[in-house]
Structures are given as C-alpha cells and as structure tokens.
Amino acid sequence: MMDSVFFHLRRQRAVARTSRWVCSSVLLWIACAGCSTEEVPKASLFEDDHAVAAHWPDDLGDLSDKLRKRTARYNRSSEESLRREIQDLVGWVGEVAADTNLSEADWIPLYQKSETVSANLRDDDGQLSEDTQNQIESLCRLIDDTISRTSDPLASVKSTAL
C-alpha cells in the first residue's frame, strides 16, 4: 500500500514538472513570436491615420493661402463647411509649423496667435465676425513674415511629390 502511495506521488510530481515545462515552453514561444527584429519601415508618417482632410495644407505658405481664400469665399457665401475648414486650418497652424525646421522663437508666436484665433472662432456663435476675419488676416501675415525671415525651404516651398 505504501508503495502505491509513493508511486502515485512520484507520478503526480512528474506530471506537474512536465506541465510546468510545457506551459513555460508555450509562454516562451508566444513571447518570442510577437517580438520580431525585422520592422517594416513606414511608407508615410500618416500611415496610422485613417484619413487626411482634403483641405490639409502642403506647408505654411499653402496654409496661409488657403485661409485667405476660404475667408474670402465665406464672405460671399457664409457656408458652414467653409467656416469649419477655416477652423481646421487655424487649428493646424502649430502642427504644420512643427513639421518645418522653424526655431522655437519662430514657432511659438504662430502657435499662440493660432490659439487666440481658434478661441475667437469658437466664440463667434457660428458666424465669422469682422474682428475674427481681421485676426485671421493678421495670422496669415505673421505666417508670411515668418516664412520670409526663415531659410527653411520646407516652410515655403510646396510639395512636389505626385
């Protein structure tokens, strides 16, 4: 009877050791399978984005140009879609500026001005007041002045990619 108890205990220990070994092996395999040393390079910085807005600017110069054109069109038609695009463009000033080689001293005033104009656009209750339009034009002039002062070709040269 004692022999059968010892046999049974040894068998349980052997099964437990085997189970631990199998579990450890499976976990190691799962961990290694997810870790690959070969990364596929991204084709685009926007690869993880789902969609890029049709009115996304090519650069700061294009942003300034699009703001002016949409503001002029809004004055003629007061379309809500144009107002939303103007709001988007103003909100993107900091992001587009960050994609250039502008110094912090050049980038910060653009960002601060765009934040002020964005706040005024939110407060205009669905309209584009004359004061806000003047602020948009002031932002465009600041963008143009920043571009003219910098030697960064990315700030003013439009993309030539097809």
Q: What are the tens digits of pLDDT across the range 66-118?
A: 999 999 999 888 888 999 999 999 999 999 998 888 888 888 999 999 999 99
Q: What percent of the chain has pLDDT over 90?
A: 41
- Residue 112: what pLDDT? 95
Cβ contact 56:85 at 8 Å: no
Is a pLDDT exceeding 80 seen at residue 63? yes
- Residue 91: what pLDDT? 95
At CA 155, angle to CA 151 and CA 161, rounded to 5?
120
- Residue 160: what pLDDT? 38
Q: How far is CA 23 from CA 51, 106, 144, in A?
A: 43, 58, 64
Q: Which of 36, 7, 144, 128 is nearest to 77 (CA)?
A: 128
- How far apart are the two ends of the chain, measured CA to CA in Å? 85
- Residue 161: what pLDDT? 39
Strand runs (DSSP E) across 2-159, as ranges? none
**Cβ burial, residue 128 (10 Å; 0-12/13-18/19+):** buried
Taking the complete model, does pTM exceed 0.95, yes or no?
A: no
Q: What are the tens digits of pLDDT across the range 112-158?
A: 999 999 999 988 877 888 999 999 999 999 999 999 887 655 554 44
Using alpha carbons only, how large is the chain's radius of gyration in Å?
30
- Residue 157: what pLDDT? 44
